[in-house]
Structure 1
Amino acid sequence: MEPLRVLELYSGIGGMHQALRESCIPAQVVAAIDVNTVANEVYAYNFPHTQLLAKTIEVLKEFPKLESEHPEKNTIVAENKIERKKIDPNICFDNGRQCSGKEAILFKLETIEEIDRKHQQDSDLSVQMLKDFLEDDIDTNQYFLPPKSLLRYALLLDIVKPTCRRSTCFTKGYGSYIEGTGSVLQTSEDVQIESVYKSLTNLSQEEKITELSMLKLRYFTPKEIANLLGFPPDFGFPEKITVKQRYRLLGNSLNVHVVAKLIKILYE
């Protein structure tokens, strides 16, 4: 069977390309297109043999050579969403039940006991623990949350341990913003999180920082997030790409494993 000839639009760092590889479908990415020059550097670093154009999709009219003897074998792959919906930012949902206003705030600031109870529900043994995705022998000092962030966002953090089997979605704001951008890792596993939070009552700011610091909370590294998204061990970044840029690029990417399965289903 003749391999599919794939044109990858909005190629980013190559999540679609990697998913196509993982799907094991016979295909060739004949070209990739993206206007993000930083993303293109990462793409070229990992897929050096793929033609890459830093242009908008209007360049499609310049691709008559993409046509093969079997047009049905030509495929366009794009990461962008094709459906948009508006969501009221003032409304949240509690197990399908709509709530708003003061009730939404109370729901958001749930007790630390409730957070810990949810963490204990990570019991699906078919799902790998987070520790399987962590880097070994790295300098984590640059990834620890600063005292100011600990104090200001203590009740908004989604805290996970290496033994947990889930995390929240990582967005492009990870590392720069706290709320809703991704989980943070508790590296001091022998410290009980509920005890720390219970002790914060009536403490001074300095004392609160001291207590929260006992948890040794840090951000996941870019490599660890790439691992969680299903990128292979040999996927990397050029040295000149900063940590902040790596977070942004990964937050705009996709889960390779999920997309690989979807591609396979579409192909079949």
Structure 2
Amino acid sequence: MVMAPPHPLWILELYSGIGGMHTAARESGLPFEIVGTYELNPTALEVYRHNFPGTNKPRNIMGLTVEELTNLNPSVIMMSPPCQPFTRQGLKRDVEDARTSSFLHLLGLLEEVLRPPDMILLENVAGFETSLARDRLVSLLKTRNYVWQEFLLSPTQLGVPNSRLRYYMLAKQKPATFCFTLSDKVQEEFPLCLCVKVEDSVTSKTGSCHRCTRPLLNSLHTLLHKFHSDRHPGSLHAVTSYTQVLPSLSHYLSLTDNLEPYLLKDKILNKYHMLLDIVDRESQRSCCFTKGYAHYVEGTGSVIQHNTTVNMAETYSKVQLLAADDSHRLELLRELQLRYFTPEEVTKLMCFPDWYDLPQSITNKQKYKVLGNSVNVLVVTSLLLMLAEN
């Protein structure tokens, strides 16, 4: 079990979005209190308040002052700053992008505040690790006497059939240490044991798992075992590692009827069928869902072949032989019943728990957009447990 902190974690949740960080804190089982949240997007705020009633009024980080930060006195800052300045689509303008201003403002506050937070957990897109914004963050951490570790991690490493490679940083103020060995390099795997069976995880005198030789953190192990037992019960007996065999998407899918709202339109099928990433219920993978899912086609997430009685490879072979204006081509593609994942299915693949809910007051387009900007809850929960361990 995690060594409980002397008092609840006082968490300042910045760029709080739909509450992915708050959800991760709740799922961790650690005692915590959210001392402040900062978010401006009205849809995200509506989703947040739906799941955490009475919380999260609109607040702009640019209005945060040293005095206010001192009064909040967070022991942990959890944040996922805007990623667009560090993505190809966002032109990679880095610190020159106006959307980085609030993050740079925060770094300035952390330089000045008398007592900076004990811990920091930051999430962003892959690419942040080579940015000037990251360099300024590291410079601050050195000045304020932190130790830290950087990661590039995906939910697939925790047994979730969805790719979502993201940058993460964990930081602690000295003399605190981590429960794993630190490296100057960005780590591309979890440094702790991810073996499955609770009853088989026998530790040696060094506190390492006999099976994988990595340090064993019981709270992390319990979290992952419960997650997978709940999501796909009975499927753990045949594997020894979460990454050995990923479960099928069938454990995350729920739509069985009323396909019409989610079926790809004819114009999409006709024009973009060769660009689609297609999976089915038995697939053990899916692509990262972005905020443009179901609005743009390329690189925004996978689609599902709902009718698996039709052979997709044979269908595509036949389609390729037909002219673009041949009506039979569209008929063949329709038979596959290609559909989008529902927002609720995306929510599950991003590992939000069953108690978390998307309000019906917002549209599917809005749901996809805020989900695409959110975090994978299981990854963040796992990292929070690692961060809080003494």
TM exceeding 0.5: yes
Deviations 1:89-119 (A, max 9, x none): 9xxxxxxxxxxxxxxxxxxxxxxxxxxxxxx
Instruction: Please give the alpha-carbon distance, in whole angstroms, between the structure 2 residues aligned to 1:9 and 1:162.
Output: 36
Match of 1:44 among 9, 27, 49: 49
Distance 1:153 1:17, change over 3 A: same
1:236 aligns with 2:242: no
5+ unaligned residues in a row in structure 2: which ranges?
A: 1-5, 91-242
Equivalent residue for 1:198? 317
By how many angstroms is 1:247 displaced? 0.5
1:33 aligns with 2:71: no
Q: Which amino acid aligns with 1:257?
A: L
Equivalent residue for 1:12? 17
5+ unaligned residues in a row in structure 1: which ranges?
A: 68-72, 90-123
Q: Which amino acid aligns with 2:40?
A: V
Normalised TM-score (structure 1): 0.78
The 5-angstrom pairing of residues 1-268 of structure 1 reads 1-49=6-54, 51-61=55-65, 62=68, 64-67=70-73, 74-80=75-81, 126-136=245-255, 138-204=257-323, 205=325, 206-268=327-389
Equivalent residue for 1:111? none
Instruction: Please give the alpha-carbon distance, in whole angstroms, between the structure 2 residues aligned to 1:267 and 1:74.
Output: 11
**Comparing 257-266 and 243-252, the one that deviates more:** 257-266
Distance 1:244 1:214, change over 3 A: same
By how many angstroms is 1:44 displaced? 0.4
Contact 1:6–1:30, Cα closer than 8 Å, also in 2: yes
Instruction: Please give the alpha-carbon distance, in whole angstroms, between the structure 2 residues aligned to 1:83 and 1:189.
Output: 37
Contact 1:153–1:178, Cα closer than 8 Å, also in 2: yes
Contact 1:159–1:186, Cα closer than 8 Å, also in 2: yes
By how many angstroms is 1:88 displaced? 10
Contact 2:37–2:59, Cα closer than 8 Å, also in 1: no
Distance 1:219 1:53, change over 3 A: same
3-state SS, counterpart of residue 33 of structure 2: strand
Q: Which amino acid aligns with 2:351?
A: G
By how many angstroms is 1:223 displaced? 0.4
Cα RMSD, aligned residues only: 2.3
By how many angstroms is 1:24 displaced? 2.2
Deviations 1:137-180 (A, max 9, x none): 55221000011100101110000000111100000000111110
**Comparing 12-21 and 219-228, the one that deviates more:** 12-21
**Comparing 138-147 and 172-181, the one that deviates more:** 138-147
Contact 2:10–2:76, Cα closer than 8 Å, also in 1: yes
Which runs of at least 4 in structure 1 moved beyond 4 Å after TM superposition?
A: 81-89
Normalised TM-score (structure 2): 0.55
Distance 1:6 1:209, change over 3 A: same
Instruction: Please give the alpha-carbon distance, in whole angstroms, between the structure 2 residues aligned to 1:158 and 1:254.
Output: 22
Q: Which amino acid aligns with 1:79?
A: S
Instruction: Please give the alpha-carbon distance, in whole angstroms, between the structure 2 residues aligned to 1:63 and 1:16.
Output: 19
Instruction: Please give the alpha-carbon distance, in whole angstroms, between the structure 2 residues aligned to 1:83 and 1:153.
Output: 25
3-state SS, counterpart of residue 319 of structure 2: coil
Instruction: Please give the alpha-carbon distance, in whole angstroms, between the structure 2 residues aligned to 1:138 and 1:258.
Output: 31
Deviations 1:162-202 (A, max 9, x none): 01111000000001111100000001112111100110134
Instruction: Please give the alpha-carbon distance, in whole angstroms, between the structure 1 residues aligned to 2:320 and 2:62.
Output: 59
How many residues were matched structurally? 228
Q: Which amino acid aligns with 1:66?
A: L
Q: Which has the higher contact order (CA 8 A, sep 6+)?
A: 1
Contact 1:31–1:53, Cα closer than 8 Å, also in 2: no
Instruction: Please give the alpha-carbon distance, in whole angstroms, between the structure 2 residues aligned to 1:258 and 1:246.
Output: 21
By how many angstroms is 1:261 displaced? 1.0
- Give the % identical residues: 40
Distance 1:224 1:27, change over 3 A: same
Deviations 1:39-68 (A, max 9, x none): 00000000114x31312113432455423x
By how many angstroms is 1:211 displaced? 0.7
Instruction: Please give the alpha-carbon distance, in whole angstroms, between the structure 2 residues aligned to 1:145 and 1:86.
Output: 27
Distance 1:48 1:161, change over 3 A: same
